[in-house]
């Protein structure tokens, strides 16, 4: 469609060298063609041209002093993408790969993910090209304090409510919140993912991983199956992957593989999750240490990966849960998974598969849950934390988990029903994109040209 192509060309001209952002936008816009054709008002109101441009982009330097007394400088970002449905909501990522393109793609995806939850939250994303690995607690504290010294003027409980993401866990959120409170003198729900002692919500740590697994189970239930007895590959070894594996075990599945930035671990009898939690949450060491306790497991360092492929996806399993980072499953990886009998992929990471990999999954007819739908449980539970903060209440683990299950099921139903409405029942990418777009676009029209 000409206006979609023109929008993509215009975006490349106005936002050069942002490949991840282009990929995210193109995937969404191409799937919106049916709804744009059936409702000309979206074209008349220039919704496409407006939705791909952030409402506000904030870039800033983050100077800090390391333990040797040297001054370091990083670049900080906060992209406030769309507030049609509520305050900006989305995580902060601290990782060397962070740049404007990555943050914009994540913020754009967040628009649709947040809309699918049905909750009153808009979309934003932020972070810095800072690597917490190898840094002392004091260095991380000083960095977080410097980062919040700029960010605090742009955020607030009814304006923009950041959360954690890669490299930003409870420790970092604590340092960020402490500096916000120090600068503003206010104790309020400006961040989610807080410690349980001071406003955090039960289930928040587990939510993204749990929700990704709930979504997978709903996909299988529609096919008269479930996760009981299924072998699973789960990429990553952070919060999302760990708690996806925990929920898989609870539902009777068997995670047999995971990975970190150093390599891939495969344990045919089932991953020892207690040991993984010790290695990654307590000791913060490589998965290679797993072999000291389980010598029969197989560990493949990154240097030994097949060219252009990820070692994890070479193993045979019934289901795959990419929970690490964007574009971690390539077309070749997708073809290998399908050839090995994989019948389900549920993305715990955002845009975890390349576009040609996604097409492989959809064409093959396997159950495929795109990240914006499958992993939306994390941001949904962040909003539940906001609700608890606003009402000065603390909900039980069971209450929050039930709401997470309900929201995950609702997201699946929206995506599935919309896909069927548009004649592509196996295409949850199309279903999720259209269902989310309609909610945001209709709100934007009702609020005028702003």
- Which residue is associated with the tokens 């000065």? 392
HEC per residue, the chain: CHHHHHHHHHHHHHCCCCHHHHHHHHHHHHHCHHHHHHCHHHHHCCHHHHHCCCCEEEEEEEEEECCCCCEEEEEEEEEEEECCCCCEEEEEEECCCCCHHHHHHHHHHHHHHHHHCCCCCCEEEEEECCCCCCCCHHHHHHHHHHHHHHHHHHCECCCEEEEEECCECHHHHHHHHHHHHHHHCCCCCCCCCCCHHHCCCCCHHHHHHHHHHHHHHHHHHCCCCCCCCCEEEEECCCHHHHHHHHHHHHCCCEEEEEECCCEEEECCCCCCHHHHHHHHHHHCCCHHHHHHCCCCCEEEEHHHCCCCCCHHHHCCCCEEEECCCCCCECHHHHHHHHHCCCCEEECCCCCCECHHHHHHHHHHCCEEECHHHHCCHHHHHHHHHHHHHHHCCCCCHHHHHHHHHHHHHHHHHHHHHHHHHCCCCCCHHHHHHHHHHHHHHHHHHHCCCC
Give the whole-angstrom CA distance, residue 96 versus residue 222: 40
Answer yes or no: 125 catalytic: yes
Residue tagged active-site, from 89, 104, 113, 125? 125
Where does residue 272 fall: left (phi above 0), alpha (psi -120 to 50 degrees), or beta otherwise?
beta
C-beta separation of 333 from 357 below 8 A:
yes
Give the whole-angstrom CA distance, residue 114 versus residue 86: 10
Q: Which residues are known to be catalytic? A: 125
């Amino acid at each position: 469609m000409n206006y979609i192509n023109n929008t993509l060309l215009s975006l490349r001209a106005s936002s050069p060298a942002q490949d991840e952002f282009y990929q995210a936008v193109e995937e969404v816009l191409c799937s919106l063609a049916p709804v744009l054709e059936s409702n000309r008002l979206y074209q008349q109101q220039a919704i496409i041209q407006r939705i791909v441009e952030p409402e506000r982009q904030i870039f800033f330097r983050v100077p800090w002093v390391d333990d040797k007394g040297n001054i370091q400088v990083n670049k900080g970002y906060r992209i406030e993408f769309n507030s049609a449905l509520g305050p900006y909501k989305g995580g902060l990522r601290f990782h060397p790969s962070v740049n404007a393109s990555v943050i914009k793609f994540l913020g754009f995806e967040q628009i649709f993910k947040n809309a699918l939850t049905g909750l009153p939250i808009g979309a934003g994303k932020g972070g810095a090209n800072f690597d917490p690995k190898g840094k002392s607690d004091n260095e991380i504290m000083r960095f977080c304090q410097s980062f919040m010294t700029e960010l605090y003027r742009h955020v607030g409980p009814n304006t923009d409510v950041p959360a954690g993401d890669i490299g930003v866990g409870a420790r970092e959120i604590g340092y960020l919140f402490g500096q916000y409170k120090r600068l503003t003198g206010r104790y309020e729900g400006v961040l989610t993912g807080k410690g349980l002692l001071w406003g955090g919500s039960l289930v928040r740590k587990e939510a993204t991983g749990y929700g990704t697994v709930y979504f997978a189970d709903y996909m299988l239930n529609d096919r008269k199956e479930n996760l009981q007895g299924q072998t699973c590959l789960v990429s990553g070894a952070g919060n999302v992957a760990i708690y996806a594996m925990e929920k898989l075990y609870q539902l009777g599945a068997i995670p047999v593989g995971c990975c970190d930035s150093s390599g891939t671990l495969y344990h045919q009898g089932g991953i020892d999750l207690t040991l993984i939690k010790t290695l990654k949450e307590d000791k913060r060491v490589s998965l290679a240490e797993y072999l000291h306790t389980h010598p029969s497991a197989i560990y493949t360092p990154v240097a030994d990966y097949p060219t252009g492929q990820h070692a994890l996806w070479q193993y045979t399993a019934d289901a795959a849960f990419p929970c690490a980072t964007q574009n971690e499953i390539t077309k070749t990886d997708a073809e290998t998974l399908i050839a090995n009998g994989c019948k389900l992929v549920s993305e715990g990471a955002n845009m975890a598969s390349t576009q040609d990999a996604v097409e492989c999954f959809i064409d093959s007819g396997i159950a495929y849950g795109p990240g914006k739908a499958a992993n939306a449980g994390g941001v949904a539970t962040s909003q539940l934390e906001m609700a608890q903060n606003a009402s000065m209440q603390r909900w039980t683990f069971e209450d929050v988990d039930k709401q997470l299950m309900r929201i995950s099921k609702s997201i699946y139903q929206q995506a599935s029903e919309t896909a069927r409405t548009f004649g592509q029942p196996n295409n949850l990418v199309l279903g999720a994109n259209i269902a989310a777009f309609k909610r945001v676009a209709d709100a934007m029209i009702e609020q005028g040209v702003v």
